[in-house]
Structure 1
Amino acid sequence: MELREHGRYDWSPLPERKTYDWPGGKKLAFCIANNIEIFSYRDGLGSDSATLTAPQTHRNYAWRDYGNRVGQWYLFDLLEEYGLPSSHNINSRVLRAYPQIREKILSRGDEIVAHGRSNGERQDVLSEEEERRLIEEATAEIIELTGKQPKGWMGPYFAQSEVTLDLLQEAGYEFMLDWPLDDQPVWMRTRKGHILSVPYSVELNDSPSMVFRQEAAASFERMIIDQFDELLLQSQKRPLVFSLVTHNFILGQPYRLRALRRALDHIMKHRDDLWITTVGGVNDYIRSLPEGSLPGQPGQA
């Protein structure tokens, strides 16, 4: 068979790339990307705590709603205890339905990354015009309720169509998190320019790990620590990004929160070695680097 190619980026082996430093001469960037989502009751899409293909019920709706009612507030407290910023991949309708969450994010100065309208739907099954409308509506709602245009996008369920990158760049987005292809930022081509892919882990992500693969909290804690330790070692050779992905209805459960706390204790022992930032902070810094610092950088031949 003839293999299809995406044409969005060129293959680039890690050892052949140019090196650069993160701010302060640091080699490893640390980002927390927290997902805050809203779902339709007994309708649409949504994960289940026990069965992958379960229908939408009152039980799994309530399990997910626990995250916004309780788990997210535990996570806010934990972030404040450790003095950590966070990026929040947030469905735009969360901002309207749960204004206390919106106000808490804004008062903390955290970053909002657009995450579609809700997690009851996905965009890769839509026509181009329908997908454009979804992006426009989510963006407009975030601007209305926060006063700011989001720079980054994370599609519900990592979903993208053939034209999502084009539509995002045309809608004014600077970066997205849907392609888990690298531990460094990567420039992606669009039909009218470029958009940056910022590392966002599908492995160090509590939803696929603990919901879909049924990893225990202690196992996920070990994964966080091992991923961090190895990336810290590897970053002695080149700049890397360590992203930790959370969902408030998963890691916001108290027994899992305790595992996250132990993992953060380990990470924070190395605080002076890290550039602690947001995914948007990575995007901004990459855009400040000299031309040619990354393969495929806009302006290069």
Structure 2
Amino acid sequence: MTTTADTGATLDSHDRYDYSPITGRRGGTWPGGKKLAVYVAIGIEDYHFGAGQTENLLEGVPAPDLVNTSWRDYGNRVGAFRLLDRLSRLDIPATILLNTAVYDTAPELLAHARSLGAEIVGHGVSNSDSLQGLAEADEADYLRGVSARIEAEEGTAPLGWSSPWLTHTESTVDLLGEGGYRYLLDLRLDDQPIWLTTRAEPLLAIPYALELNDSTSIIGRGVGASEFADMLIDEFDELLDAAGDQPLVMSIVVHSFISGVPFRLRQLTRALEHLAAHRDDVWFTQPHDIYEAVRAHATTEEVDHVGN
């Protein structure tokens, strides 16, 4: 709880993490002496036709909405393949925020991602789903079911979770820790990974820049493709300067049906090529490796004091 000094009133707060100014933390580097860790996540999603939540380009289309449905379907038929191949060409490992229904609706896409070594992060069954309003037992079953499906398909359970529509209940963080998940990609409270308190295993919040997300910025706020690319470049240049003193993390989140569209892919590529030109100072990585580096830092000292 937080108390205001002037009135004595009490403001509600949460107890998931404490305040920690970045100026009070020691320096260090990521593995290999790199200054800045960068991960690129691709949302590969599935939507129910005519039910649940949807991401739409055109609002107000009456049912049956084949217009927005086909716009989203472009992602798993075309856009995701091109995004994955573009990252591979630039030698940037891919991370996939996956709705597990895609195993059934576009299995060839997941086979392609697997062949390129993409990391799979749990992102629900369908993006028409939401955790909002779920009873705790039902939510626990849902989180376990996503993990079990990924383990059955990939051979290993996912370490990471990102919620559909970034929704949570009061129990989500606790249930993730109890369900075997070890990191969360939903929050940006810092430029370094931060441990969240749970009633089970601690959960690592790996920075997730909400504005460096083509859904929230391009679709949600009308940012143009070239402006979005400039945002990525400016964020990268500023963080790389700041990372001269401390190891930091930059995230990029794109979606198969948004940035996988040709004119946006061309601008995204411009930004990624700018990032790749600084490879000597940058650790292009995946969230599970960031998690392992942070978890091991107390003994390896390669990442010094991150998140404390």
Report the TM-score when normalising by structure 1. Answer: 0.94
1:260-271 alignment runs, 5 A limit: 260-271=268-279
Picking from 26, 30, 35, the partner of 1:18 is: 26
| Of 176, 196, 209, the match for 1:201 | 209
CA 1:23–1:44: 2 relative to 1, 3 Å: same
The structure-2 alpha-carbon separation of the partners of 1:135 and 1:54, relative to structure 1 and needing over 3 Å to count, comes to: farther
Give the whole-Å Cα distance in 2 for the aligned partners of 1:55 and 1:261.
35
Paired position in structure 2 for 1:164: 172
State the match for 2:183 in structure 1. 175
Distance in 1 of aligned mates of 2:62 and 2:206:
33
Q: Is the 8 A contact 1:36 1:88 kept in 2?
A: yes
Which amino acid in 1 is paired with 2:22? Answer: L
Matched with 2:128 is: 120
SS at match of 2:53: coil
Runs of 4+ with deviation above 6 angstroms: 53-56
In structure 2, the residue matched to 1:64 is 72
Equivalent residue for 2:230, pick from 222, 232, 235? 222
Query: What is the rounded CA distance, in whole Å, between the counterparts of 1:238 and 1:121 in structure 2?
Result: 38
Task: Name the residue aligned to 1:231.
Answer: 239
Q: Which residue does 1:299 correspond to in 2? A: none
Match of 1:281 among 277, 286, 289: 289
Q: Work out whether residues 67 and 252 of structure 1, in 8 Å CA contact, stay in contact via their aligned partners in 2.
A: yes
Q: CA deviation at 1:294?
A: 3.8
Question: 17-26 or 162-171: which moved more?
Answer: 17-26
* Residue 101 of structure 2 is aligned to residue 93 of structure 1: yes
Q: Deviations over 1:6-41 (max 9, x none)?
A: 100101011001222101111101110111000000
For 1:293, the equivalent position in structure 2 comes to: 305
Give the deviation of 1:201 after TM superposition: 1.1
- Corresponding pairs, count: 295
Q: 150, 157, 171: which one pairs with 1:142?
A: 150
The residue type equivalent to 1:263 in the other structure is A
Q: Is the Cα contact below 8 Å between 2:207 and 2:251 reproduced in 1?
A: yes
* Sequence identity percentage: 41
* RMSD, matched Cα: 1.5
Question: 2:3 aligns to what?
Answer: none
- In structure 1, the partner of 2:257 is 249
Where does the alignment leave 5 or more consecutive residues of structure 2 unmatched?
1-8
Mind listing any 5+ residue stretches in structure 1 that lack a counterpart?
297-301
Q: Residues of 1 paired with 2:168 and 2:25: CA distance?
A: 27
Q: Does 1:40 align with 2:52?
A: no
Q: Distance in 2 between matches of 1:148 and 1:5?
A: 36
Change (3 A) 1:55 1:213: farther
**Once the 2 structures are TM-superposed, how far is the Cα of residue 220 of structure 1 from its aligned partner?**
0.4
TM-fit CA distance, 1:128? 0.8
Q: Using the alignment, how far apart are the partners of 1:82 and 1:55 within structure 2?
A: 41
**1:59-88 per-position Cα deviation (integer Å, ceiling 9, x unaligned):** 111111110001011112211211211110
